[in-house]
Amino acid sequence: MAHRESAASSSTPKSVAGLAILLLVLAAFFGFLNTQKVKALRVTVATAQAARDAAERRIHEKPNTSAGGTREEQSKVAEAENRAAKAQAELAQTQKEKADLQAKVDQNQKEIPSLQMRGDKAENPNASTADSPAATAPATDLQSQLDDLRNQLDSAEKEKAFLSEKLQDMQERADQPKQEKKRREAVRETGPRRTGLRGTVLAVNQAYNFVVLNLGTRHGVESNAEMLVLREGALIGKIRISSVEPATAIGDIMTNSLARGAQMQPGDNVIYAGTSP
């Protein structure tokens, strides 16, 4: 009878220890899946960033494309934003799984002392822990597995920080095309107000190929705006505004636009032509 009670008491801690080991194995498996998902997220973020960079290069290289091209670029930017949002959602899911894994690790950590005490009592109630290495073997294995899980959690934490930085950078990059679009829309909205804007050349510097105009920001002149230079109704050439003051502006002479043998002179008329991209 006593033999049966001893067998039952020793089998109970072993069962509990086996259950704890099984939980740790499952936790390690989830940690491995978590690491794989983090790697997949990195690939997704890199792909989305490459797509966004490509869309930005197209926007800057071809600002005067047709409406169909603009829609295509916008769709690519939207697709990149969708990928970023999807990566962010997957990151949130990974964080939740990480929290669950951490909870399991904490729970198993709390069970180690109890399992060790039960194992010691079941194997040899009168012996100390130092005299029973067989009883401490399961606890040592559990501690080793917990250390591995902690290392995986640290790696996942680093990956999470890396992905967060990438997502923030992608969001900032996503805002740049929108700001550029708003600026162009603002330019188009103010364009009709400047259409037909006229002024006069005040001075000409032939050595450095620039002219001074009697127009400025109060008249609607902006940097990079192109203006036609006329004399008695005949086109002399074009200038591009390089510096603007409230009442005056400086325009660089576009030498390739000058009529053959013509030079700009004070008193020539200037007319707003448009804004160069």
Best CA proximity match to 45, nearest among 166, 154, 221, 132: 166
Average pLDDT over residues 79-90: 79
pLDDT over threshold 60, residue 277? no
Average pLDDT over residues 24-28: 76
pLDDT over threshold 90, residue 185? no
Residue 131: its pLDDT value, please? 47
Query: What is the identity of the amino acid at 16?
Result: V
Q: Tokens in use for 134?
A: 């067989």
Residue 14: its pLDDT value, please? 65
Average pLDDT over residues 1-18: 57
Residue 30: its pLDDT value, please? 75
| Residue 132: Cβ within 10 Å count | 17
- Name all contacts of 154-158 with Cβ < 8 Å and 24+ positions apart: 155/35, 155/38, 156/31, 156/34, 156/35, 156/38, 156/94, 156/98, 157/98
pLDDT over threshold 90, residue 202? yes
Average pLDDT over residues 6-14: 56
Best CA proximity match to 24, nearest among 156, 152, 129, 158: 152
DSSP 222: -
Over residues 131-159, the pLDDT tens digits come to 455 556 666 777 888 888 888 888 888 88
Residue 211 banded pLDDT, cuts 50, 70, 90: very high
Residue 230: its pLDDT value, please? 94
Best CA proximity match to 41, nearest among 173, 160, 204, 171: 160
CATH homologous superfamily of 195-275 equals: Rod shape-determining protein MreC, domain 1 (2.40.10.340)
Q: What is the pTM of this model?
A: 0.32
Query: Regarding predicted confidence, which is higher, 13 or 36?
Result: 36
Residue 4: its pLDDT value, please? 52
Average pLDDT over residues 157-166: 80
Best CA proximity match to 220, nearest among 186, 181, 265, 255: 186
Residue 261: its pLDDT value, please? 86
**CA pair distance 234, 256, nearest whole angstrom:** 17
Best CA proximity match to 87, nearest among 42, 52, 51, 53: 42
pLDDT over threshold 60, residue 107? yes
Over residues 248-274, the pLDDT tens digits come to 999 999 999 998 888 999 999 999 875
Residue 237, phi then psi, degrees to nearest 5 = 175, -165
DSSP 259: P
Residue 99: its pLDDT value, please? 79
Instruction: Give the CATH number of domain 2-192.
Output: 1.20.1050
| Residue 214: Cβ within 10 Å count | 13
pLDDT over threshold 60, residue 75? yes
Residue 128: its pLDDT value, please? 47
Over residues 222-242, the pLDDT tens digits come to 999 999 999 998 999 999 999
**CA pair distance 28, 149, nearest whole angstrom:** 6
**CA pair distance 41, 163, nearest whole angstrom:** 8
Domain locations along the chain: 2-192, 195-275
Average pLDDT over residues 98-110: 76
pLDDT over threshold 70, residue 123? no
Half-sphere exposure in the Cβ direction for 32 (13 Å, CA): 6
Residue 127: its pLDDT value, please? 47
Residue 271: its pLDDT value, please? 93
Average pLDDT, the chain: 76
**CA pair distance 170, 41, nearest whole angstrom:** 14
- Cβ pair 215, 228 in contact under 8 A: no
Query: Regarding predicted confidence, which is higher, 187 or 225?
Result: 225
Residue 203, phi then psi, degrees to nearest 5 = -150, 155
**CA pair distance 13, 16, nearest whole angstrom:** 5
